[in-house]
Structure 1
Amino acid sequence: MALDKSTFETLVPARFVTFTFPDPSSPSASSDRRLLRVAVLDSPIRPSAPPRVAAMLVPSHREHDWIFSTESGHLQLLLGSPGLSRLVLIGEDPIDGRGSGLGFRRQTECHRSRREGREESLKPLVLALSPRVCFESGVPEVTFLSYEDDLVASVTLEVFIGEFVGEMLVEDVVIKRGSGCGESEFRRRLRFKRMPNLVQTQVRIVPQEDCRETEGGFRIEDMQFRIDARVLVHPYLAPMVASLSLIGSDIDERIRKGLRPKAFCAGVGGGALLAFLRGQLGFEVLGVDVDEVVLRVAKQYFGLEDGDFLHVVVGDAIEWIERLANRKTEGTLGALCSHDLSVADRIDGKFDVIMVDLDSSDVSTGLVAPPLEFVRKPVLLAARSLLCEFGILAINVIPPDRLFYETMINELRDVFHDLYEIDVGNKENFVLIATVASIREIPRYDVSFIMKLNSVLSGAYMDSIRKI
């Protein structure tokens, strides 16, 4: 069915329309003329000023990427440009077989100049897709936004469907760190389709054989890798671990007595945090994740090993906190399977730290962490009851607004002794740390555990912890 030209003359909040259009840069007489996929999204927010329209070309060979091929991805791009009323996304139509397959490689300077020529040829199309009000003062300027990230090359390893998280994919990528030569790094990533441009988990991977970058880039699809679990590359994980410096002297005393410190991880993802706590810091770790497929992916692709001193179970982490607290007081875990019971029975005593990495994803509002269900007094009281006398609760927080953050702080103050904060520095994540008791001030150089933390983490995160 042909589109009515008048469809685009007005703005309709949150309207999303896609169609194909002959590529004006390909010969019109050719029977093999390329098609473009055009997607037009109007902002869900009504403009308070004259509307702004912009277009964006999909990077070549990323046409299948969720950020460019889904309505939710399109919305993320639009909301990432404040004040934009309509975004027109234009890329090769992947349905005709010419779009990207499983891999991507960053374009060269030659490709960039070609892109500028394509933008010029597509200006009439963008004008035709602009609302009538934009022409009240004459023909408007056509603005093309550019999309840039640190991705150099990527290859999709496998796509999965989780019962709770939905479609997800595992990919190996090459990213560029800095502008100089020799700054490339290999990583494995887990992404969820529900938040198309969000990297849920990433770990550093190392080629099993020496490789050199050629003029055409790395042939990442032909390479074999091993997981490097000694470092944390996901932005907020190192700050979460840095929170342990607050109780480093108490953990040190436990270790000197021949005891292992214990951690409960609410949310597992790819398992990088759990593996680091177990492998680098000697913790006994219990991790809970609601989606069984996510745990299977973590074991298959991210090196998570469920065994001695590291236990993972399928379940709702908030329910587990409440049921574990119930076991401490009433001797029962409620309706959990026998496997879960055996895992819980292996965790003797209380936890030194509970680390919460849970989110509530809604593309219309953006990512929020933790979910509101966690910030309830019964849950916070249950969490406190599971912590030892010097224990801490460390939470990855992505606040949608200041009110959410302040409300969360007030709820924590009602239950815990003191609060601390780490600003991750990415303008998105904060780590909130709630303590059961007052923190003892002991020089770091006298504490072996803190010296160990300094050797495996950036000391900058420990130095940036502030009391609030």
Structure 2
Amino acid sequence: MNLLPRTAEEFSSAGYWERFFKKRGEKAFEWYGDYNKLCGVLHKYIKVQDKVLVVGCGNSELSEQLYDVGYKHLINIDISETVVTHMNQRNAERRPDLAFHQVDATQTPYEDCSYQAVLDKGTLDAMASEEEGALARNMLTEVSRVLCVGGRYVCVTLAQEEVIKLAVEHFVQLGWAVRLHCLQEERGKEEDSFALPVFVLVCTKFRQPMPMPILEMCLGEDGAPVRHAQVVELLSAVREHQSYSVLRKRLRTSTDASSNLSLTLCHAKTGLPRYTLTVQDCPPGTKVPRSNQFAIFIVPQGSETAWLYSSSEGRRQLAASANFRRLVIVAMHRNQEYTDMQSVQSELSPMVMDLAPPGMPVNQQVPFLSVGGDLGWREEVASGVSQLSGQYIVENVKGEDGELYRRLVFLSNAALIQSESRLVALSAASSQKKKNKRKSKAAAAPVTPSNSLTVDSGFLCCSHHEVMVAGLTMVGVGTPQNKDVPLSVLLVGLGGGGLPQFLRDFVPNVTVEVVELDPVVLEVAQQWFGFQPDDRLIVTLGDGLERICALEKEGGRLFDVIMFDVDNKDSTLGMSCPPAAFVETPILQKVCSLLTPRGLFILNLACRDPALRKTVLERVSGVFPTILSRKIEEEINEVLLCSRVEKEAPDAARILPSLSQSAKNLQSALYSNRTEPHRKPHIDIAELLKDIKVE
């Protein structure tokens, strides 16, 4: 026999509760926990001498247990005649002063300001579903009326969003103080508990309404209150605790190697994100040493976006190499200070067991893993706002190789590095000296002050940029017959300017036009990434598609190479580079018409959706007869090299051997074209072309 209501409306139906208690009989029904679970927080807010109104008491033993520990002024009301009769009979001899009355909580007969406390365990939740909350509002109005100044409404609730929003807004409008306690289940009891945590809402009545709302959240019965400025912030904190409780229960009762469960832990005082924890389980059947049940891996600051830590495949590989049944991968957030590894471990240790795998003993030691025991290093050097892309930061980080790097990151997609450059000391001699030191002791490399660093324009941090440069072999750059032939490049997408500056500095006879939509990106590139336009490297501010259409319409100007290196702001699509409009057939045809006879179209493609990738390739191949592709290792990116020249049918594979000598020519040309002796291109063209294939 199922006694639980089938619809939300039944919760607030008097008829339902009458039938419920007749069927249930004498056995007590404890919504959201018994006295032992609730007594700590109840005793904190309800004094023994207080006159207390218990609304919707049901046949819970809570009032009886409160009475037995000294609360002698309890008035219990319920809408069910059956339960009121039963409770009076049950307590007639042992608790003659414990009163139970059949009263509708929305229309009580009690005088104004006649109670010091109103206790509600689940009644608000039951009423809130009826008539869009009208019944619950009527009850809360009665609660407000019967409570005296300094009195408290103490409500035990699951705090589902519409319910808690209704109650909090009601009391905030009255100028009362509102506090929520989130009660966590004891470890090891998740199997028998609610998926959602139980909250205790405490609303205190003041003589004069508070001019500013007092909204607080506490973790547990004794947790320090965290103040929130707005109702929406408090509700957000409730959702976070609920999400954590659901995740905690799931993790403690099951494992799933295919899921990527993650949660964000916020700073207790500021409320800002401090840690992101991602749980990675080993696949079923994996042989793991008995002692290797659970471990925590701390990702060095500045390495969060690395493939090993940010991708599903990378995290699975990391977990497999660590060989633990469950690995929790912890990333540290920007704008947060971390003293050392010991302090991070101390912060995380209290909650570690909440994420332990099923069946692991509570007292088992959990190891913390890291890369060389180092937290890494990060320094924010600039920040600002772009009207097109939102907030951004420029930061220096120390890589796991011990080198220093500068990055541009837009916070709307903080997991993506928009641009990155390697930093070196201003003095070439100093740079080489520090490089030798790092080789011998990378983990202990000193952090160089920002004002003594400069961008190494010969080093391309992005692997796809290296492949795009290597693709110039297809237009014969560096070959004897092209020794003095000019090379014109149109590049859509500036970023930090590393790619176009490399082309200008090392590719012989090149002129580059870069089209950049966002003027802020150009400002950042010039100020923080050493980007310096000149007569061989010009920047056109504007939409890349519009620029291509305008060039095609004007006619008379052709390019040897056109490159697309622009990201997609729409994260809902399965393609993050380029935006879909850039690979529509009409645009591809315009690109083709703007190329010289030897011309090459180079596309940075990042597409997670196999069907969408197939569509893109079909469109590109419909315009360009020859396409070579190079997958970027440990990334979703691939570079497409698209030529107007027909394949050498039927043996298309002849294209690849012909690139071998061209690679040597380009490598030599890049090295010999450097303008300063201490500057050199850090690139291996032959290696980059090894894994290229014909589409």
Q: Are 1:233 and 2:441 counterparts?
A: no
Q: Residue deviations 1:376-434, cap 9 Å, x none?
A: 11111111111111111111122213323222211111111111012232343211111
1:47-196 → structure 2 map (5 Å cutoff): 81=315, 99-100=337-338, 111=341, 114=342, 118=346, 122=349, 125-128=351-354, 152-177=376-401, 184-196=402-414
Give the direction of change, closer, same or farther, for the CA distance of 1:128–1:292 in structure 2 (3 Å limit): same
Aligned residues of 1:359 and 1:367 also touching (Cα < 8 A):
no
Alignment of 1:244-323 (within 5 A): 244-248=472-476, 253=481, 256=484, 259-281=485-507, 282-323=509-550
- C-alpha change, 1:438 and 1:144, in structure 2 (3 Å) is farther
Q: Distance in 2 between matches of 1:433 and 1:225?
A: 35
Cα distance, 1:238 vs structure 2: 1.0
Q: Which secondary structure does the structure 2 equivalent of 1:404 belong to?
A: helix
Q: Which structure has greater helix proportion?
A: 2
Superposition deviation, residue 253 in structure 1: 4.7
SS in 2 for 1:243: helix
Distance 2:420 2:365 in 1: 37
Indicate whether 1:410 and 2:618 are aligned: yes
State the match for 2:181 in structure 1: 2
Candidates 321, 329, 350, aligned match of 2:558 = 350
Change (3 A) 1:289 1:89: same
The match for 1:336 is: none
Paired residues of 2:601 and 2:642 also in contact (CA < 8 A): yes
CA distance 1:272–1:116, shift in 2 (3 Å): closer
Secondary structure, in 3 states, of the residue corresponding to 1:360? coil
CA offsets 1:344-372 (integer angstroms, 9 cap, x no match): xxxx6201111111122566778721222
What is the deviation of 1:196? 1.9
Larger Rg: 2
Shift of 1:230: 2.5
Count of residues paired in the alignment: 398
The reply on whether 1:201 has 2:402 as its aligned counterpart is no
TM-score by length of 1: 0.69
1:444 to 645, 658, 661: 661
Provide the aligned C-alpha RMSD in A: 4.7
Deviations 1:189-208 (A, max 9, x none): 22222332332222233212
1:239: Cα distance to partner? 0.7
- Asked if structure 2 preserves the Cα contact closer than 8 Å seen for 1:66 and 1:193, the reply is no
Structure 2 residue identity aligned to 1:263: V
Q: 1:395 to 1:454 in 2, by over 3 A?
A: farther
Shift of the alpha carbon at 1:172? 2.8
5 Å-filtered alignment, 1:18-57, equals 18=265, 20=267
- The farther-off stretch of 228-237 and 260-269 is 228-237
Is contact 2:626–2:643 with CA below 8 Å preserved after alignment?
Answer: yes
- State the shift of 1:56 in Å: 5.5
Q: Structure 1, unaligned stretches of length 5 or more?
A: 23-33, 69-74, 178-183, 329-347
Deviations 1:236-256 (A, max 9, x none): 111111111011169865553
Match of 2:691 in 1: 464
Given that 1:263 and 1:352 are in contact with CA atoms closer than 8 Å, whether structure 2 keeps it comes out as: yes
Q: Is the 8 A contact 1:151 1:175 kept in 2?
A: no
Q: Letter of the aligned partner of 1:292 in structure 2?
A: P
- Structure 1 position 321, deviation (Å): 1.6
Q: In 2, distance between residues paired with 1:160 and 1:154?
A: 18
1:126: Cα distance to partner? 3.7
Q: State yes or no: 1:392 paired with 2:600.
A: yes
Amino acid at match of 2:461: V
| TM-score, normalisation: structure 2 | 0.48
Aligned to 2:551: 324
Residues in 1 aligned to 2:661 and 2:596: alpha-carbon distance in whole angstroms: 22
**Equivalent position SS for 1:197:** coil
> Are residues 389 and 252 of structure 1, via their aligned partners in 2, closer, same or farther at CA, if it must alter by over 3 Å?
farther
Of 147-156 and 191-200, deviating more is: 147-156
**What is residue 28 of structure 1 aligned with on the other side?**
none
Report the more deviating stretch, 302-311 or 423-432. Answer: 423-432
Q: 1:318: how far off?
A: 2.2
Contact 2:631-2:637 at 8 Å conserved across structures: yes
Partner SS state of residue 449, structure 2 = helix
Encode CA deviations 1:291-319: one digit per residue, 9 max, x unaligned: 11011111112222222021112222122
2-structure distance, mates of 1:243, 1:92 = 37
Change beyond 3 A, Cα 1:323–1:144:
farther
Tell me the secondary structure at the aligned position of residue 226 of structure 1.
Answer: strand
CA deviations 1:248-303 (Å, max 9, x no partner) are: 169865553xx521101110001111111112113111111111101111111222
Q: By how many angstroms is 1:116 displaced?
A: 9.3
- SS of 2:418's partner is strand
Q: Which has the higher contact order (CA 8 A, sep 6+)?
A: 1
Aligned residue for 2:582, secondary structure, equals: coil
Q: Which runs of 5+ in 2 are unaligned?
A: 1-179, 185-196, 198-241, 251-259, 285-292, 320-324, 648-654, 673-680
Report the residue type matching 1:238 in the other structure: E
User: Percent identical across equivalent pairs?
Assistant: 22
